[in-house]
Structure 1
Amino acid sequence: MEATKVSKQTLSQRLNSLPSHLFALVFEQVIERLSAWIFYTVLNDLCADVA
């Protein structure tokens, strides 16, 4: 799936139109992906420091 560029206002409007349970699911996925990205970024930095 290709990324789609949208304005901040459009994204805000779309998120505001979601039912709360769907917003919670989307938010949970965002947090999981962000956490994984942070973990791997820190891990890569640590490995680069060791090498």
Structure 2
Amino acid sequence: MVGLGVSSRSSGDYFYLFSPHPTPYTLRPTPYTPHPTPHTPHPTPQSTLF
């Protein structure tokens, strides 16, 4: 019975390990968002030219 309990706990550990992995992936897209931000400032200078 104890062995089965350990197995269940192992599954939980795996889920925890997988959770942190997706986090780094979300952080990666964040840097991508800042890139589009600089693009928005570009149109602003055009407004000044007008």
Query: TM-score range, shorter-chain basis?
Result: 0.5 to 0.7
Structure 1: stretches of 5+ with no match in the other structure: 1-18
Q: TM-score, normalised by structure 2?
A: 0.52
Name whichever structure is richer in helix by fraction.
Answer: 1
Q: What is the count of residue pairs matched by the alignment? A: 33
Structure whose alpha-carbon radius of gyration is higher:
2
Structure 2: stretches of 5+ with no match in the other structure: 34-50
The runs of at least 4 aligned residues of structure 1 exceeding 2 Å deviation read: none
RMSD: 1.3
Q: TM-score, normalised by structure 1?
A: 0.51
Larger relative contact order (CA 8 Å, sep ≥ 6): 1
